[in-house]
Amino acid sequence: MDEKRLDYFREKLRLKALSLTEMIQRSSAYGREKDRDIQDIADQALESYTTDFNFSKNSSDRHMLLLIRQALQRIEDESFGCCAHCEELIEPKRLEAVPWAPYCLRCQSLAEKGRLDG
pLDDT tens for 32-86 read 665 566 777 777 777 766 666 666 677 889 999 999 999 999 999 999 999 999 9
Cβ atoms of 90 and 97 within 8 Å: the answer is: no
Among residues of the chain, what percentage have pLDDT more than 90? 64
Question: Of 2, 20, 14, 114, whose CA–CA distance to 73 is shortest?
Answer: 14
Domains in the chain and their CATH numbers? 1-79 (1.20.120.910), 81-118 (no CATH)
**From the CB of residue 112, how many other CB atoms can be counted at a distance below 10 Å?**
10
Q: Which residues of 36-64 are buried (b: 16+ CB within 10 A; e: fewer)?
A: eeeeeeeeeeeeeeeeeebeeebeebeeb
Considering Cα of 1, then 81, then 93, then 13, what sign does the dihedral take?
negative
Instruction: Give the Å distances, CA to CA, from 46 to 38, 40, 43, 58, 81.
Output: 10, 10, 5, 18, 43
Task: Return the pLDDT at 42.
Answer: 79
pTM for this prediction = 0.76
